[in-house]
Structure 1
Amino acid sequence: MQDLYQDLKNALTFRHGISYEPGHQEFHKHHDLYEIYFFLSGDVHYFIEKQVYPLQYGDLLIMHSNELHRPNFQSKKQRYENVVIHFNPKLAEAFSSPQFDLLACFNNRVMGEQNRMRLTPQQIDDIMKLYERMEIHHSQAKAGSEVLYVATFIELLVFINRLFQNQGNHKEQGMLPDKLASLLTYIDENLEQDLTLDVLEQVVFMNRSYLCRLFKKHTGSTIHEHILFKRIAKAKQLLREGCTVTDACQLVGFNDYSNFIRTFKKAVGLPPRQYQSQQRRV
């Protein structure tokens, strides 16, 4: 806990962002942080795993570190505003109790499901007040501001988990075409296999040019970007579980060891062996 307080820049980040011409958004850099995303304005569909969420004012999204996610802007000329929080899950674990797990809404659900919460006007007002307090404490240099910053964040997590508990096991109807949903499932289940366009167009019986356009339209990314992200996420999991770097490379479908090392380092910020050593020290 003391180390997390000393390094709050990495353990807990708060950003209230406004943009009028949002550019191309790549998948978020691979990290082990969890994310809370609060949507205020814009014309955005948000892609998470195998789901596409069209957003409206006050939508709240929650993502853990292994969930592939990114905004897909439907209009480039509108005002785009959101509040985004990234946090180290160990910070939340330190404040959880046996009766109330602050990470339950992130961990106790199927990956890529129940990410979005639709808030009532009163709930939107309540969460906006928490964000305003976080923003004030984050910007102040007064004694104790960092403590109040974390305390307000913990209050936010309690609020979100109560929302999650109240919404039950509601599963939203998917917006993705069935062919794309099938393709995403196939990729997830066959990361160690050949996933070239030659193979994938046969999986869904669709011309590759049309398939690539359809994929880009609904997810905002290319098929190649998606596969790389999923392979690196799987490699990180294998390394945390004690798999050797060589075996991880093969099990996620990289045929070239040097390319795996280079790609992993670019995506994660550390080479695989160093990442594994770091995880063992945590």
Structure 2
Amino acid sequence: MQEMYKNLDQLLTFRHSVTHNPIPLDFHQHQDHYEIYFFLTGDVHYFIEKQVYPLQYGDLLIMHSNELHRPNFQSKKQRYENVVIHFNPAVLEHFNSQQFDLLDCFNNRVFGEQNRMRLTPPQIDDIMKLFDRMEMHRRPQALPGSEILYFATFIELLVFINRIFQNQGKQEEQVMMPDKLSSLFAYIDENLDQDLSLEVLEQVVFMNRSYLCRLFKKHTGSTIHEHILFKRIARAKHLLREGSTVTDTCQLAGFNDYSNFIRTFKKAVGLPPRQYQSQQRRV
């Protein structure tokens, strides 16, 4: 336990941020960390896997480490404020009870679904109080023992979130994703090792490639090429962690050119595939 508190900054991060000129973010995942995202102000549609959520004040998002996501800013000049928490689920190993799993809302739902919880005004007030306490306990001038209170408040936050998740059931997803794009996402996921050129994709969804590209950009904030590339990198990382050879990974992830795979993987991950695989074996 003492070792956990020494490494708490690597295991649990809290950020309350405000900006008037948000910088566009690429598609991303958090390999070892889960994310809690609380929306306060802005004009944002949030993309998670195959869904887009238009956000309003008090919306809470939860993301598993493998769920692809990115905010799509509809207006870049509006005030943008949120609270984001990243945490390594391993930190909770000794805090679950037989009756209550603190990771239930992250692990026990369909991948890429039920990511958003729409909180009531009283729930918004309650969660803001928890965030205020976490922020207070992480200040540089905090009193001795504040790291314990910081982590204890985080545990309380997870209990709070899971109770909301369990009580709301499966709400109707108020998403803005056209059926054509939903079909496109499904096809890409199932055929990452195949030809995913625009020539192929426009035939899959029976839509002109120019219009398809514009539609994709409008709803995700990114291009089809960027989405496919990130999905293939994510597949490659998974295969390497599972012990696949670099050569097999190149083919199974849809990179037909080995040199291009090595170069693209290193640019995206920061390490060449073999070094990444070795590092994962040591973790």
**Scaled by the length of structure 1, what TM-score is found?**
0.94
Aligned to 1:73: 73
Which consecutive residues of structure 2, in runs of 5 or more, have no partner in the other structure? none
Q: Which amino acid counterpart does residue 136 of structure 1 have in structure 2?
A: M
Q: Give the CA deviation at 1:4.
A: 4.0
Q: Percent identity?
A: 80
Give the Å deviation of 1:120: 0.8
Q: Deviations over 1:170-205 (max 9, x none)?
A: 341442111111101000000011111111111112
How far apart are the structure 2 equivalents of 1:51 and 1:32? 22
Residues 206/157 of structure 1: CA separation in 2 closer, same or farther (3 Å cut): same
The code of the aligned residue for 2:13 comes to T
Q: Distance in 1 between matches of 2:156 and 2:27?
A: 29
Matching of residue 238 in structure 1 with residue 263 in structure 2:
no
After superposition, the Cα gap between the structure-2 partners of 1:277 and 1:3, relative to the gap in structure 1 and judged at 3 Å, is: farther
Corresponding position of 1:268: 269
Paired amino acid for 2:79? R
Correspondence for 2:134: 134
Partner residue in 2 for 1:167: 168
> How much has 1:242 moved relative to structure 2?
2.3
Q: Secondary structure at the match of 1:16?
A: strand
Distance in 2 between the 1:151 and 1:26 partners?
33
Instruction: Report how far residue 86 of structure 1 moved.
Output: 0.8
Aligned residues: 282
For 1:139, what is the secondary structure of its paired residue?
A: coil
Question: Structure 2 matches for 1:75-224, cutoff 5 A?
Answer: 75-141=75-141, 142-224=143-225
Matched, 1:5 2:5: yes
Comparing 272-281 and 84-93, the one that deviates more: 272-281
Q: Secondary structure at the match of 1:85?
A: strand
Aligned AA (1:161)? N
> How far apart are residue 276 of structure 1 and its match?
2.9
Q: Structure 2: how far apart are the matches of 1:240 and 1:68?
A: 18
Letter in structure 1 aligned against 2:176? M
Which amino acid counterpart does residue 168 of structure 1 have in structure 2?
G
- For residue 138 of structure 2, give the secondary structure of its aligned residue in structure 1: helix
Q: CA deviation at 1:144?
A: 1.7
- For structure 1, the 5+ residue unaligned runs are none
Q: Deviations over 1:145-188 (max 9, x none)?
A: 22221111111111111111111133414421111111010000
